[in-house]
Chain A
Amino acid sequence: MNAPAAEVVPAQTPLRGGLAVKTRLMILVVVLSNVTGNLFLSFGMKQGGMAGGSLLDCVLAVFRPWVLAGIVMLTLWMLSRMTLLSWADLSYVLPVTSIGYALSAMAGKLFLGEHISLLRWGAILLIVLGTSLVSATHPDGASAHAMESNR
Chain B
Amino acid sequence: MKWLLVGLIVFSTVLADLLQSREMKAHGEVSDFRPQGIARLLANLACRWRLITAIGFMALSFFSFMALLSRADLSFAVPATAAGLVLETLMARFYLKEKVSRKRWIGAGLVACGVALLTL
State the A residues within 8 Å of B (CB).
Answer: 11-12, 38-39, 41-42, 45-46, 50, 53-55, 57-59, 61, 67, 74, 78, 81-83, 85-87, 89-95, 98, 101-102, 104-105, 107-109, 112, 114, 116-117, 119-120, 122-134, 136-137, 141-142, 144-145
Contacts and interface: CB of A to CB of B under 8 A. Distances in A.
Nearest to B100: A91
Interface string B69-108: 1110111011100100100110011001011110110111
**How many B residues touch the partner, as a band?**
35 or more
Contacts, number: 189
B27 interface: yes
B98 A90 contact: yes
B37 to A, nearest CB: 11
Nearest to A85: B24
B21 interface: yes
B89 to A, nearest CB: 5
Given A122-B117, A133-B107, A108 B70 contact: no
5 contacts: A42-B74, A45-B66, A86-B24, A114-B74, A142-B98
A85 B25 CA distance: 7
B106 A91 contact: no
* Pairs A-B, 3 closest by C-beta atoms: A130-B110, A126-B114, A134-B107
A70 B78 CA distance: 14
A114 B21 contact: no
Most buried by B among A57, A83, A91: A91
Given A120-B117, A145-B99, 18 more contacts: A42-B69, A45-B69, A85-B20, A90-B18, A90-B88, A91-B93, A91-B104, A94-B17, A94-B88, A109-B75, A112-B74, A117-B120, A126-B110, A126-B117, A127-B115, A133-B110, A134-B104, A142-B98
